Each structure stands twice: as structure tokens, then as C-alpha cells.
Chain A
Amino acid sequence: MENPEENQVEPSDSSVGESVGQAEGPRDPSEPGTPEPAGERRGFIKFLCAFIGTLISAVPFGAGVWSYLDPLAKRNKGGGGGDGFVRVASLDAIPADGTPAKFSIVADKVDAWNRFSNVSIGAVYLRLVDGMPSALHTVCPHLGCFVDYRPGKKDFFCPCHNSNFKLDGSIVEGVSPRAMDGLRIEVRNKTEVWVKFQNFQPGHSHKVPVS
């Protein structure tokens, strides 16, 4: 085949290749004074090479993977008191007409090497049903987006995959596998609304707490 670029090819310096070829190589094992190792011994050395190589390679990976698995050994250190309840609002702050209102969950939070006091760790919707408060997690049980309350339609709506829920959290339509997550709630000292704030694994038809 004709080489269209041949005029542009810079010829190589042939002496270079020769000089490289003259470099000193390993000794010929057939020469006198170089006894051939026994096949068995050679096999053992190969095995040792592979074994030691694997072993020393495993050291950095082992140390790395061990520390990488650390989150599985840690328990969730959520905020709030010892029982997991967090004071969220005053009973009077919840609309009397049954409209849900969003409240931030403000609690202490441990994030790896930091401990933060009184920071927002999430939010809940509180509403009054026959004068008693109920709490729903604001996170969609489908894939964890923040569910909106729609005043015009008086329902909850997830702006990601269009699931919508009644005010009690039950599904109207959409792809969510379960109703919005209800949270345990207590009224303390007559007016203080306390909620046991916890997250649940999304995507399942039943509530599984994230621990």
C-alpha cells in the first residue's frame, strides 16, 4: 500500500535500536555455574510470589475497607432527648381549622466530628384532628423528596414523582408505596407538642426505621 505520508516521515536513528540491543541481559541459565532450579522449587517460589503479592496488596485495601465499613458499625445519633422526642411547637401554633402547618425540627445533631446545637434536622407537618395534634413526616416515602402542602387542593403533593396524599397522609394517587409516615406525638405540659422524630427507609410498603 502506498504511504501518502512517506515524505513526512522522519527516518529513525538506526544506531539507537542497535545500542539498546546491546544492553546486558540476564545470564543464560545454560552457562556453567548457573544450576537449573528444580521444577518443584521453582513452582514453590512462584506460589510464594503470588501469595506474598496478594498479602501485601491486601494490607492497604484491608485497612481502607475496614474504615469504609465504619458507618455500618455506628448507630444513628439523632437529636432530641433520651426518648427521641423533640419539642416542636406550641399547641396554639397549629391552625385550629385542621390545616396542616410545617414546623422545623430543631435539635442537637452529631455530624461525624461536629456536634451542632439547635439546628434544623428536618421538618414535620402538624395538624389538629378533633382538637388533637397529629404529625406527618415531610419526606416522601417514595424516594425522599420534600412533600408540599397545597392549600388550594387541600392535599399533600410530592413535586418529584407526583404522588399525592390526603391530609391524613393516605395515598390518593401516584407511585408511593405507602402513606406518608406518621410520627408519634405527645402533648406535654398541656401546650407543648413533642414529636418522636425519626426517618424511615423509602421505597417500601411498610415503615422501617432508619437506625
Chain B
Amino acid sequence: MRSLLDWIDHRTGIRSLTREALFENIPGGSRWRYVWGSTLTFTIFVQFITGIFLWMGYSASSGDAWESVNYIQNEMAGGWLLRGIHHWMAQLMPVLLLLHLMQVVVDGAYKAPREVNYWFGVLLLLLVLALSLTGYLLPWDQKGFWATKVATNLITLVPFVGPELQQLVIGGTEYGHHTLTRFFALHAGVLPGLLVLLIVGHIYLFRRHGITPAEPVTKRDAYFWPDQVFKDVVACLAVTVAVLAVVLWSHGAHLGSPADPSEPYSAARPDWYFLFLFQFLKLPFFAGEKEVWGAIYIPGMAVALICLMPFIGRWKLGHVFNVGVIFVFLGGAGALTYLAKQEDVDGPNSATYLKGVLADTRDAQRVTALARGRGIESTALSLLKDDPKTQGARLFAQHCASCHRYDGHDGLAVELAKAESHDDLAKRTGVSSRFLSGDAVHPDWLARKTGTQDEWQPVKSVLKAKAEGPFDVIASVSPPEKPSAPDLNGFATRQWIRDLLDPDQYLSARYFGGTAHGEGAMYKKFLNRKVRKYDAEEKAMLELVVFALSAEAKLLSQAEDDKADADKIKQGIDHLIDDIGCVDCHAFGEPDPDADGPDLTGYGSRQWIIDFVKNPEHEKFYPDNNDRMPAFGVKKILTDKEVGLIADWLRGDYFEPVR
């Protein structure tokens, strides 16, 4: 073994190299405060290793980036761990960098003869920030897309060449394939290459000039090996354990829904260590054309001031000034970061922000489930665009919710966990819980007592009323107008039809109370005049009619019940025609030109809903007494595909993963 080592050493000189690396003298001996440089080198090592393995699973194109990252995160064995380590280590790096910088400035390690090494360090800091910025876009999710758009739009403010520079950075005038290929080349090639060069230079210069001992030096000198190395590896172990704990707790790293230039994302924020710059640009001083000062000139001057510290430090009070500057910068950045977070969770527009976070989370979960359950034929975004559960709700919110409701909201609400009691609700609404969690309840959102049919109320008013819970809570701001058409949640289900045929419910806001039909024959001649006086036997017949009518819809959710109740449904059809007399006003089974009300044949079925939405004034429905409902198809307000998506969504006819 020894002869082998001798041979290698003869050819390479490895022994003297190792000696040089390990037996560096440390004035005053090893210290815990010297560990930051080594931990940073370690984190960069981890990022290189995890980054290269991520590279093996990543595809940099606008049709593949999200899809490949989703595959890494949710399908690949150990992918979540790999991605989680890369993501969370990147979150830790700015903290370690700042600690390192603070230490260098406070200890005066930037002074002669170490100026060049100090500048290398500043450049390394900027490189790591550039790596973070470029890495943020690579998953191609809504968060990365919109946040990076802001960052790249800032480039247009660069004097003289701004727009051209931006085109070069994003690879064209619009975000697309080449934005990703260019960002990826920077993130995985150019920047790491520069990083390695600078680190080699940084460590070489560090060794050339030696460590700057922290005063006072009370202990004896020692070599780097093994005392300081031991402290360094313990610190690296602490870093690893901390990062692994967060990775396990969060099961990897967040992945939002796929980037979509036509859908808003109200929570577009940079990573937390850029929040101070983000908040800085909100200052009124930088309004209008002065923005370039906040975005480029002042940050540029701050970096220049940091670079000039070695020269400033030569003056009598220069070092004190430098230390003061660093603390002012850090204090200012810290305050701005806090303000940015605070504004998001407790500012006047915090509901918008939190709703953006939740809507994105909902879409991300949905598209991940679709990708897993159905596979991605073209892109993940097209899965979402063709998904009735996603698009039906959006279309309903845009075109229907000004009159209709869906379970009391506009169809886009995000269901949150229950609040078990009034106190629980108050706690979940509190600023501190919102600060920590994106899904914490906002006071503007809605709550109602569990198990009731009460209208949703803003959480604020529930808290004020001090009514005891448990409560269902949803993230949906109360629509400004009162409902003036039926609530379509559960449309054509047995319960929905049962309640429809209850005279009081029919007249409530949940059904036709807000429409002209409240005054129509259905209520006056049938529900009020007959149903109110039904005896037990007639009520039993009406219940069978409910079964029969609901079976017309052929709802997936009721398929088993319909099959089991085939006899009752058959009886119900007889009652519908003969005893209850629905066909006096409605067509059933065959066209009836004299019918006043909607045709009940296939009531609630996909085709029935599509025909109705496309033209409610068709002779099958309300040829003479349609109340405000636009003919969405005839007037080309909605395409056939869009009407189909709404119908499928209302009927719950969409893919659901097997639990």
C-alpha cells in the first residue's frame, strides 16, 4: 500500500499538496466562528451534486420543464428528496453568505492585503444570487414565471441597451423555449463555472494571506487539521441535518401549477432574500420613471460601496463606518423583508395574495393528479385547460356567478379545513397563523356552521356574532351581488330536486326566489296549491318522482343508487306522468308543443344542460318566459367546448384519482 502511495506521490506530488491543504496555521487555534467559509463550500458542493442529478431528469423547454420537474418531484424514486435538498440548501445559502460577509467586515478581514479576496467574495455572493434567480424560473410554474417576468422586465430599465439586453436574456421578445434554455445554461453551466473559478481563487488567496484572527488571540496557534476540520464537519453536519429536516417535513419542494400567460397569479413574489428589493420598489419615491433608481442605480451603488470598503477601511474611522454600513444594510433589508411578508398576510390586499397562493396550490394538486392518473399527452397546461373541474369552475365564475351560485360561492372557492370552534376560527384568522401558513383563514373569507344550509358569511361577521362552531371555511371573497338564480351545486341530484320541490325552498334565494319564476305557475299552481297540502301518501309519491327525475340526469355520483332503485324509479316515472301531473306543464318522453316549463326528458343530463345553456329560449325550455338567462351558444358567448366543460363540471363528470 505504502509503495503504491509512494508511486502516486512520485508522479503527482500529492503528499505535499495534502500537507499544504491540511497543515495551514491558524493563529489562536481553531474556532467555531471560522466555520462559515467551509459550510458555504460544503453547500456549494451539495448543490453541484444534487444539481447534476436533477439535470439528469430535467428538460428545458416550455412544454417539458414543468412536466419533468413534476416527474422528479412526484414520480421519480427519491426525486422529492433530491429536489428538496437542492431547493432548501439554496434557501440556506444566502443566510450563510450573509453570516460570512458580516464576519469578514466585522473582523476587518477585507483590509490589505486581502482586498482582492474580499472582492472575490462579493462576486461569489452576487453569483449565488444569480444562481437563485435563474433557478427560480426553471420549474416553469406560475410562481417562477410571473416572478421572473418582473426580474427580467427590470432589465429593460438599464440605460441605452435595456430592451435589447432583455431580449438576449430571455431569448426573444416573449417567454418561451429559449428563455428556459438560456436560463438553464446560465444556471447549470456559466454561473457554476464562474463559481468554481472564483472559489479556487478565493481559497488560494485565503491561503496566501492566511486567516484573519479574531481578536483577542488568547490560545495557542493550531493547524487546520484536525481541530478546525472537526469543527467544520460538525457545522456541515448541522447544515445537513437542518436541511434534511425541512425536506422531510415539506416532502421535497413546492411546485406550483404550470406557467400560463393568460391566468393571473396574485402571489407573484421573488424568493425571500429578494423580497427587500421587491418591497423597495413599492416606495412612492420610485414611482414612474424614477424606478430605475430603485431597481438599478441604488442597488448598484450599494454593491459599489461594499466593494470600496477596503479603501474606506484605511481611514481612521473607516472600519467603524464599514461595520455601520453593513448593519444598516442588513437592518434595512431585514425591515423591508418583514414589511413585504407582513403586507402579504395582514395588509389591505392580503386576501388577494393568500387567495392567489391557494388557487395555485389547488391547480397544482389537480394537474399533478391528472398527470399521474391520465398521463400527459401534450403538455400539463393542456390537461388543465381541458379539465372540467378546473375550467368549468372558472367559466362558471366568469359567466354564471353574477346570478347563480355554487354552494353559496362563485365556483372558485378553495375548501379549507374546518375550524372546530369559534376560538379555533379566531386563532386561524390571526395574523401570526397567517404569517406562518398560506392556507390560514383570512377574515374576508367565508364560513358557515358545519352541516347547515346557511349562506356563507365573511369570517369577520361570524367572529363578531360569536356563534359557536364547528365551521366550514372556504377561501372565497363574498360575491358583491346577491344571488338571483338557483344555486347549482348538486344540480339534478336527488337532494337538489327534493329541495326544489319544497315550496319554501323553491322561493328561497337558493332556488327561484330571486327570479321571475318565483311568481310563476310552478310555485303558484303546483307547489303552493298542491304540494303544501300533500298527505303522507302523496309525499311518498313525490319522493319517487324525485328518484325518477334525478335518474334522468344519469349522474356518475348516483349511478349505483339509480341501479339499486330501478323499481322505485320506474314507479316514479308513472307518478310523474299520472298522479303528480308534471306532464300537465312539462314535456316528458316525447315533445309537447303545449308545455310551459322545461322538457323533463333527460333532465340534468349532459346534453340537456348543454342545450339549455346554449339556448334557454328554445321551445324545449322557456320559449316565452325565460328570465335573463343569455343564450350562451346562440350568441357565441361560449364555445361548444366551454359549454361542455361547464356541464361536465356541474355534473361532477370529470377525472378523480382513486383514493
A interface list, Cβ under 8 A from B: 1-5, 8-10, 12-13, 16, 19-20, 68-69, 71-72, 74, 76, 89-90, 92-93, 95, 101-102, 104-105, 111-114, 120-123, 138, 142-148, 150-152, 157, 159-162, 174-177, 191-192, 199, 201-205, 208, 210-211
Does B324 lie at the interface of the complex (its beta carbon under 8 Å from any beta carbon of A)?
no
- Provide 20 A-B residue pairs closer than 8 Å at the C-beta atoms, listed in order of the A residue: A4-B221, A72-B164, A74-B172, A105-B262, A112-B177, A120-B263, A121-B261, A143-B153, A147-B264, A148-B264, A160-B268, A160-B269, A161-B282, A175-B283, A176-B287, A177-B287, A191-B636, A199-B173, A199-B174, A204-B156
Q: Which of B349-357, B419-427, B430-438 contacts A (4 or more CB under 8 A)?
A: B349-357
- Least Cβ distance of A113 to chain B in Å? 7
List the B residue with the shortest CB-CB distance to A2. Answer: B220
Contact between A13 and B282, CB atoms less than 8 A apart: no
In the complex the two chains form, what is the Cα distance from A1 to B176 in whole Å? 63
B42 interfacial by beta-carbon distance below 8 Å: no
Closest B residue by C-beta to A91: B635
B29 to A, closest residue via Cβ: A4
CA distance A112 to B175 in the complex (A): 10
Pick from A8, A104, A113: contact of B262, CB under 8 Å: A104
Q: Which of B13, B266, B635 contacts A92 (CB 8 A)?
A: B635
Q: How far does the Cβ of A208 sit from chain B's closest Cβ, in whole Å?
A: 8
Across the interface, do A159 and B267 meet the contact criterion of CB distance under 8 Å?
Answer: yes
Report the Cα distance A8→B62, complex, angstroms.
57
Q: Is the CB of B178 within 8 A of A112?
A: yes
B171–A90 touching, CB < 8 Å: no
Q: Check B353 against A177 for contact (C-beta < 8 Å).
A: no
Q: B242-266 CB contact bits vs A (8 Å, 1 = yes)?
A: 0000000000000000001111111
Shortest CB–CB separation between residue A107 and chain B, in angstroms?
A: 11
B163 beta carbon closer than 8 Å to chain A: yes
Residues on B lying within 8 angstroms of A by beta carbon are 6, 9-10, 13, 15-16, 19, 23, 25, 62-63, 146, 149-150, 153-154, 156-157, 163-164, 167-168, 170-174, 176-178, 220-223, 225-226, 260-269, 278, 281-284, 286-289, 291-292, 349, 352-353, 356, 385, 398-399, 402, 477, 479-480, 630, 635-638
Q: What distance in Å separates the Cβ of B160 from its nearest Cβ neighbour in chain A?
A: 14
Give Cα A139–Cα B385 distance, bound, in whole angstroms: 21
The chain A residue sitting closest to B281, CB to CB, is A161
How distant is the Cα of A142 from the Cα of B267 in the complex, in angstroms? 16
Smallest Cβ-Cβ distance to A161: which chain B residue = B282
Given A93-B637, A120-B261, does the pair A146, B146 have CB atoms closer than 8 Å? yes
Please, which residues of chain A bring their CB within 8 A of the CB of B288?
A: 175-177, 205
Find out whether the CB atom of A157 lies under 8 angstroms from the CB atom of B291.
no
Most buried by A among B6, B220, B223: B223
Asked whether B173 lies within 8 Å of A16 as measured between CB atoms, the reply is: no
Closest-CB distance, B72 to chain A (whole angstroms): 23
Q: Closest residue to B385 on the A side, CB-wise?
A: A120
A144-B150 in contact given A12-B16, A92-B630, A159-B268 (Cβ < 8 Å): yes
Establish whether residues A93 and B399, one from each chain, have CB atoms under 8 Å apart when the complex forms: yes
- The secondary structure that dominates the A interface is loop
A69 contacts across to B, CB distance below 8 A: 168
> Who on chain B is nearest to A164 by CB?
B349
Are A148 and B266 in contact (CB-based, < 8 A)? yes
Q: Are B149 and A144 in contact (CB under 8 A)?
A: yes
Q: Is the CB of A71 within 8 A of B171?
A: yes
Q: Which residues of B contact A201 (CB under 8 A)?
A: 156, 163
B353-A159 in contact (CB<8A): yes
Among A2, A69, A177, max chain B CB count under 10 A is at A177
Residue of B with least CB distance to A154: B480
User: A111 to B261, Cβ gap below 8 A?
Assistant: no
Determine the chain A residues whose CB is within 8 A of the CB of B638 once the complex forms.
93
Q: Are A114 and B637 in contact (CB under 8 A)?
A: no
CA gap between A112 and B64 in the complex, in Å:
14
B642 to chain A, nearest CB (A): 10
Contact yes or no, A203 B156, CB < 8 A: yes
Residue of A nearest to B479 (CB): A151
Least CB distance, B396 to chain A, in whole angstroms: 13
When chains A and B are docked, how far (Å) is the Cα of A193 from the Cα of B582?
43
B264 and A160 within 8 A (CB): no
Whether B282 contacts A111 by the Cβ 8 Å rule is no
Separation of A143 and B145 alpha carbons in the complex (Å): 13
Q: Are A72 and B167 in contact (CB under 8 A)?
A: yes
A95 and B402: CB pair below 8 A? yes
Given contacts A112-B177, A114-B63, A145-B268, contact A102 B398 (CB under 8 A): yes
- Chain A residues with Cβ below 8 Å from B178 are 71, 112
In the bound complex, do residue B264 and residue A120 qualify as a contact, i.e. CB atoms below 8 Å apart?
no
Cα distance, A191 to B282, chains bound together (Å): 41
Residue of B62, B156, B167, B262 ringed by the most chain A CB atoms within 10 A = B262
Tell me how far the C-beta of A51 lies from the nearest C-beta in chain B, rounded to whole angstroms: 25
- A5 with B398: in contact, given A71-B167, A90-B636, A159-B356 (CB under 8 Å)? no
- Given A160-B150, A175-B282; A20-B168 close (CB under 8 Å): no
Contact A92 B636 (CB under 8 A): yes
* Cα of A142 to Cα of B153 in the assembled complex, Å: 9
A5–B177 CB distance below 8 A = no
Closest to A210 in B: B173
